[in-house]
């Protein structure tokens, strides 16, 4: 298990070293998504983190693609981009990252490569201003743009939150859209923390089949 000094959150491994991590941590949504995505990412791939936040997912992607890969990271908050940059520098994997302080709904303006993995972790910056959060209209546009950039065999992950400050609009909008995706080209898998109460987060994966 690797963890950066002074930066809580993301662990890197869920394999032979996972005995160091508690079982509960292993199934926390971020870690769960990393575990799922690992087999889809290879050295040299291009990936997108659509919501950098504190940089946990960006770091996971940068480590996974290695020195020859590239990771595009988006966040509308300068504070988040800066936290991510510092995190990547400390982890020694800043070279493969391109950090963009702009809305993910404009990702196709910046990214011209096909992506192996695209990650969305919706909501607000942990410890930050809850009113600066993802919104259903821009989230939907970003997911649509992202699907256009995903390569065949690639996967998009979406950590979707609801209830509390977040409400239900974003979740309902995204799930309604994903439900309608053509089964010839897309496989949508919605996982569920089935026995948890009070609007548990929803890990969703969209795989491009053709
Ligand atoms: N993946 C992050 C991590 O590993 O720490 C957590 C992401 S956090 C839950 C959600 C982030 O989305 C916030 O930092 C927020 O500023 C960002 N955000 C909100 N609207 C956005 C938009 N339109 N485009 C890009 N980022 C956005």
Domains and CATH numbers, the chain: 18-208 (3.40.50.150)
Beta bridge partners, 148, equal none
Residue nearest to atom 23 of ligand 1 (CA): 103
How crowded is residue 106: how many other Cβ atoms within 10 Å of its Cβ?
15
By percentage, how much of the chain surpasses pLDDT 70? 90
Beta-carbon count within 10 A of 3 CB: 11
Mutation test residue for ligand 1: of 76, 79, 108, 161, the one with most atoms within 8 Å of CB: 76
Q: Does the pLDDT at position 128 exceed 70?
A: yes
DSSP character for 18? G
Cβ atoms of residues 47 and 69 within 8 Å: yes
Nearest protein CA to atom 19 of ligand 1, as residue: 134
Do residues 23 and 31 touch, judged by C-beta distance below 8 A? no
Report residue 9 as tokens: 């959150």
Q: Indicate which residue's Cα is closest to atom 7 of ligand 1.
A: 53
C-alpha 88/C-alpha 121 separation (Å) is: 18
Measured in Å, residue 161 CA sits from the centre of ligand 1 at 12
Decide: pTM greater than 0.75: yes
* Contact residues of ligand 1, CB 6 A cut-off: 51-57, 74-77, 80, 103-105, 121, 123-125, 132-134, 138
127: left (phi over 0), alpha (psi -120 to 50) or beta: left
Reading the block at residue 165, the tokens are 């400050």
Distance 73 CA to ligand 1 centre (A): 10
Atom of ligand 1 nearest to the CA of 119: 1
Closest atom, ligand 1, to C-alpha of 80:
14
Q: For 52-103, write each residue's pLDDT tens digit.
A: 999 999 999 999 999 999 999 999 999 999 999 999 999 999 999 999 999 9
pLDDT in tens, 131-187: 899 999 999 999 999 999 999 999 999 999 999 989 999 999 999 999 999 999 999
Which of 31, 47, 53 for a ligand 1 pocket mutation test, highest count of atoms within 8 Å of Cβ? 53
Distance from C-alpha of 47 to C-alpha of 143, rounded to nearest angstrom: 14
Q: Residue 146 in contact with residue 107, Cβ under 8 Å?
A: yes
Relative to the CA of 161, which ligand 1 atom is closest? Answer: 9
């Amino acid at each position: 298990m690797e963890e950066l000094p002074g930066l809580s959150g993301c662990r890197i491994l869920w394999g032979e070293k996972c005995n160091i991590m508690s079982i509960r941590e292993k199934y926390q949504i971020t870690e769960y998504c990393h575990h799922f995505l690992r087999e889809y990412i290879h050295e040299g791939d291009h990936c997108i983190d659509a919501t950098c936040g504190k940089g946990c997912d960006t770091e996971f992607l940068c480590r996974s693609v290695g020195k020859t890969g590239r990771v595009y990271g988006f966040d509308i908050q300068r504070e988040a981009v800066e936290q991510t940059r510092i995190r990547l520098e400390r982890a020694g994997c800043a070279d493969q990252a391109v950090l963009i302080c702009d809305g993910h709904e404009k990702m196709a303006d910046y990214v011209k490569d096909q992506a192996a993995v695209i990650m969305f972790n919706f909501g607000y910056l942990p410890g930050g201003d809850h009113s600066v959060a993802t919104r259903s209209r821009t989230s939907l546009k970003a997911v649509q743009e992202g699907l256009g950039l995903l390569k065949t065999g690639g996967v998009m992950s979406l950590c979707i939150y609801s209830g509390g400050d977040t409400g239900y609009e974003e979740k309902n909008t995204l799930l309604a859209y994903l439900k309608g995706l053509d089964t010839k080209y897309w496989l949508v898998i919605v996982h569920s923390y089935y026995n948890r109460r009070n609007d548990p987060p929803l890990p969703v994966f969209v795989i491009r089949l053709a």
